Every structure is written in C-alpha cells, then in structure tokens.
Structure 1
Amino acid sequence: MVLPESASLPRMIRYIGWPLALLFVWDVIVTLAYVYLPHPGFELPVLPMTLLGSALALFLGFRNNNAYQRWWEARTLWGAMVNASRSYGRAVLHLIDKRPDSQDLRHALVTRQIAYVNALRCHLRRQSCLDEIAPFLGEGEADGLKGVANVPNAILNETGALLSDALRQGWTDSIRRTQIEQLLVDMSNAQGGMERIKNTPLPREYAYFPTLFVHVFCLLLPIGMVDSLGLYTPLASTIVGFMMLAMDRIGSDLQDPFENRAHDVPLTSICRTIQIDLEQLRGKVDTPAPVRPVNHVLW
C-alpha cells in the first residue's frame, strides 16, 4: 500500500513511466508536422474530441469505482480478520480453564492462529508458506501440510479438532466451545470472501478496453488540439493525457488487491500486527517489531 505522504508530482510521473514520455514525443511530432509542413491534412474538430474525452472519463470512472470497491472490500475483510483473531486469542486464554495441564494447549491454540493468518496471506499471494509457519505449528504438522491445496483451511480445521479435545478433556464446556467455534466460523467466512476476490477478477474487458481507449485517445488528442493551440499543443495534450493515463493505471492496480504489489492491501503488515497482539496476549515479551514502510510502501 502506497502511503498518502508519498504523493507527489515527480512520483506520479515516474508511476506512469514510458507511456507518458512517448505521449510527449508524439505530441511534439504532431505539432512540428502541423506547423512546418505545408498541408498536414489531419486536423480534427474540437467537439468530437471533447465528446470522446467525456465518454472515456465516464468509462474509466466506472471501472475505477469497481476496482476500488474490490480493494476496499479486501481491506474490510482483513480488518474483520484482525478483530476475529484478537477475540479468538482472548476467548482461548479465558474460556478454556486455566489449569497447568491445559496451558500448553491454550498457548498452542493462540500460536497456531499466527500460522493461520500468515498461511492465508501466502495463499492469497500464491506463495509458499510452510517454512514460515512451521515455528507456529505443532511438531511435524507443517510437513503434513505438503501437497494440501488450501493450507489455511487445513490449519483452521485442526484448530477445531484441538478445541474438541479440550472439550473432551473437560477443560471447557459446550457453551464456551460454541463461542470459540463461532469465531472460527467468522474467520472462515472472511477467508471465503478473500478467496472470492482473488479467484474472481474483473472481466478481462475491464482491463483491456479502458487501456486501449486511453491510448487511442492520447494518439488522437494532439491531432484534435493542434489546430487551435498550435505550439502549445504538447503542453496541453501531455497534461490531459497524463490524467487519463493515471486514471487507467490506478484502476488497473487496484482491481487485484492480493498480487503482492505496491498498491495492494498490506497483508504482511496486517499479519505482523496480529502476531504482535497474540504473542503479547499470551505473555511473550520479545515480540517482533511492526512492519515499516519501504520507500513509502507498506507491504
């Protein structure tokens, strides 16, 4: 996630990159051709360009609104995961009897939640997670997850089995067990929503046609403006093209919020926050530091 304080014109220009540079070169070529060639023959009236720009802005706005809704829903689901993880840790430590023989189980249940959220992060990013989550699981459990298609769901299922063991041992009762189980259901529902966003991208047309139309518009823009603006065409055309290219790029980056890119939901930071909260909850002192931004990007 790019932090707000990093917003600046030079950064935005670098963000657009080569398309903006090529647009400026094209604007200069069209302007010089119009000024110095005797009969350019490629003037376009202003009105059609205005209508085309208005239609394109509406099209981009519609796509970007949908892209942002996906990004915001992804962030909302991870916010629910943070709340559910905290509530789960508190419930495990206080709704399971505090007895010497139950302490290991209570701490294991809290610790494996750290493994669960990190496994979910890697699952959404299509990354391997077994080496990373092995320290938070029982001995040999990570090896048993090799080849499992949905590692976070398998961890959550085993958590439910451990809670059933606590019930059989008499360390909790059915009412308290149900309360903790409801938190697992909430986490499973949130995971399902995240997987829906990950596995159901916006239609391909939402990515292809806006970019195509923006590039066509940028090619036609100086041709339609040069008759009225003359030598000022490169300045005006590049500024308008910059806005269109920026809108297209932003919408493209926001529509897939789990791709481990700079504009995605900061899953690493959120998982680290959950880890710190849960480890402090069970009394650990030397917790890891929060994730810090790198070049104004929070991962």
Structure 2
Amino acid sequence: MHIGRQYKITDFLAWTRWESSWILSWSLLVTIILQVTNWHFLTVPSSILALVGSALAITLAFKNQQCYARFNEGLMLAGQVSATSMVLANRLMSMVGRLDAATPGLGLKEIFYRHFAWLTALRFYLREGRSWENTFDPGNVSFLASTPSPESHSALADELKTYLSDAEVQKVMTHQGDKEGLIIRWQYESIRDLHTQNLISEYIFTVITAGLDDLVRLQGALKRVKNYPYPRNYYSIAVIVVKIFVLIVPFGLYPDARELGEPAGIGDWTAWLNVPFSVVVGWIFISMEKVGENSSNPFEGNANDVPISSIMRRIEMEMRIMIDGKTDLKPIEAKDSILF
C-alpha cells in the first residue's frame, strides 16, 4: 500500500513505460503513413472517436469502482482479523489468566504462539501467485525486483519454526489441505483439552471457541477474495475496448492536428502534433485501466495491495506484549512510501 501523499508523475510514467512506448510508436507510424500517402480517407470522424471514448469511459468507471470495492473488502477483512485476534487474546488473558503458571501443561503461551503461526501461514497463502494476477506485468516486475514483499524472500517453513515445534512444522508442511486450517484446528483441540480437564468452564469454552469461529469465517472470506478474480468478462471487454480506442485515436486526431495550422498555411507541420496528442489521450485511458486492474487483487504483493504483512506483524507484537510483557519485534517499515 502506498502511504505517501501521492504517486509522482515519474512513478506513473515508469510504471506505464512499455504501454507508452507502444502508443508512441503506433501514433508515429499512423502519422507518417497519413502524411506520406495523403490517404485522408483513413481518418476517423470525431463523432466515432467521441462515441467509443464515451463507451470506454463508462466501462472503465464501472470496472474501477468494482476493483476498488474488492480492495476495500480485503482491507476491511484484514482489519477484522486484527480486531478479532485482539478480542480472542483478551478473552484468553482475562478468562484463562495465568493459570498456565500454576497449572503445568495448560499451555496458554502455546495457544498464543500457535495463533502467530496461523497468521504466518495465512499471509503466505494470500501472497501465493495466481494466473490472473499482475505480478508478471512488465511494470510490476521491475518494481518487485527493487521493492519485494517480505514473503517473497522468506520461506513459510523457516518462519513457522519460530512458533511451532519441529514436529508440528513437519505436519503443517506435509499437510495436503489448508495449512492455516490445520493450525486453527489445533487451537480448537487445545481449548477442548482445557475444558476436558475442567480447567475452564462451559461458558469460557463457548466464548473462546466463538472467537475461533470468527477467525475461521474471516479466513474463508479472505480466501474468497484471493481465489476468485474480478470477472474476466468485464476485464476482457475493458482491455479490448481500450486497445480499439488507442488504435483509432491517431486516425481521429489527425484532422484536428492539421486544422490547427491550416489558417496559417502550416497544416503539414501541425499535423505532427497528432503524435503527442494521441500519446496523451491513449496514455490516460491505458493508465486508468491499469490502475483499476492493479487494485482488483489486494493480496498479490504489489504496491497497491492491502498491507497484510504489516497488519499481522502488529497483531503479533500486541499479543506478545500481552503474554510476555515485552517484545523485540519491530513494525514493518515502509520503503519508498510502500508498506507491505
């Protein structure tokens, strides 16, 4: 997530440099052909250009609104994971208390650390690549090379060793189902064992497992956003219309560029303004489409994603302070105004 005031224009130009180069080359080629051949019958009436542009603007407005909704949902769900984790931790501390100090084998600290393992497994799952995501886009590849996400240069097994025993890590890594699902299942079993040993009452058992139920629901909601993309039919029609529009823009703006200089008899010279005009118009629509698409997958690990790494680090820090009284962990800091 970008947490600065705004992106610089140079950031956008660098991000869209491949598309800008393509638009520039096409506009220059069209202008040369029209200038050399004088085949002005190839130009497109301004009414056609306006009609296609209007349809494209409506399509992009709809798409970008829906893509932002997906991002906003991902952010709200991540925030709910934070709030629910704090609720669960406070319930454990207030209802179970420090009984683990007086009752060997209670394992309250083990429950907390297993929650950290669940957070870790969940964020690694959310950072996994999907075929429809944009991490392989040329503009994003160069960005990720210089500003990688924490999960891209770490391994799940190595991080889980901080929270689980070697045997548990082995079970998680060889588990055929959802790894985070297995860890939270262990949490249910731990609370059940406390109840079975009569260390907690039926009421406390119900209240704590209700917190785990909320985490399971949030886990499922996060996975839904991760595993199901913005509908490909809407995405495809937006991309197709953008490409059609960018292709016809030089043919539509060429007569206007010539007309600027005709009163002064320099129409052949002003006709070359068709190139920068077409580049600017095409770049605007291309950029709008890219902004929407790069907001539609809120966990892929790009600059515009939900900062799940930072959110889950803060959850762990707060819970460590609860159980240990202190923590050596530091918040994840933004790099070049990008927070993961």
TMscore range, shorter length: over 0.9
The separation in 2 between residues aligned to 1:79 and 1:24, in whole angstroms, is 43
Moved more, 14-23 or 48-57: 14-23
Which residue matches 2:331? 290
Measure the CA separation in 1 of the matches of 2:202 and 2:122.
28
Inter-partner Cα distance in structure 2 for 1:144 and 1:34: 68
TM-score (norm. length: structure 2): 0.82
1:134 equivalenced with 2:135 (yes/no)? no
Structure-2 change in CA distance of 1:65 and 1:73 (3 Å): same
Q: 2:222 matched to 1:194? A: yes
Q: What CA RMSD, in Å, does the superposition of the two structures yield over aligned residues?
A: 1.9
**2:205 paired residue number:** 177
Long gaps (5+) in structure 1: none
Counterpart selection for 2:179 from 147, 151, 166: 151
- What TM-score do the two structures reach when normalised by structure 1? 0.93
2:319 to 278, 288, 294: 278
Matched, 1:209 2:237: yes
Deviations 1:15-36 (A, max 9, x none): 1121112212322333344345
Q: Which residue of 1 aligns with 2:48?
A: 48
Q: CA deviation at 1:275?
A: 1.1
CA contact (8 A) 1:97 1:172 kept: no
Alignment equivalent of 2:251, drawn from 218, 223, 235: 223
Task: Give the letter aligned to residue 19 of structure 1.
Answer: E
Distance 2:53 2:4 in 1: 28
How much does 1:98 deviate? 2.5
Partner of 2:102: 101
Once the 2 structures are TM-superposed, how far is the Cα of residue 139 of structure 1 from its aligned partner?
5.1
- Deviates most, 112-121 or 233-242: 233-242
Check conservation: 1:111, 1:278, Cα contact below 8 A: no
CA shift at 1:205, angstroms?
A: 2.1
Q: Distance in 2 between matches of 1:90 and 1:266?
A: 24
Deviations 1:127-162 (CA, angstroms, capped at 9, x unpaired): 752321222124521111132220111111101111
Q: Which amino acid aligns with 2:194?
A: A
2:14 equivalent in structure 1: 14
User: Is the Cα contact below 8 Å between 1:92 and 1:109 reproduced in 2?
Assistant: no
Q: CA deviation at 1:97?
A: 4.2
Who is 1:118 aligned against? 120
Unaligned runs of 5+ in 2: 129-150, 259-269
Alignment identity in percent?
Answer: 24
Local SS of the residue matching 1:264: coil
254, 257, 265: which one aligns with 2:306: 265
Structure 2 distance, partners of 1:141, 1:32, is: 67
Contact persistence 2:317–2:327 (CA under 8 A): no
Per-residue deviation at 1:63?
Answer: 1.4
CA distance in 2, matches of 1:39, 1:251: 37
Counterpart check, 1:252 vs 2:252: no
Q: Number of residue pairs matched?
A: 299
Cα distance in 2 between the residues matched to 1:289 and 1:219: 50
Query: Once the 2 structures are TM-superposed, how far is the Cα of residue 206 of structure 1 from its aligned partner?
Result: 2.7
Q: Does 1:238 align with 2:239?
A: no
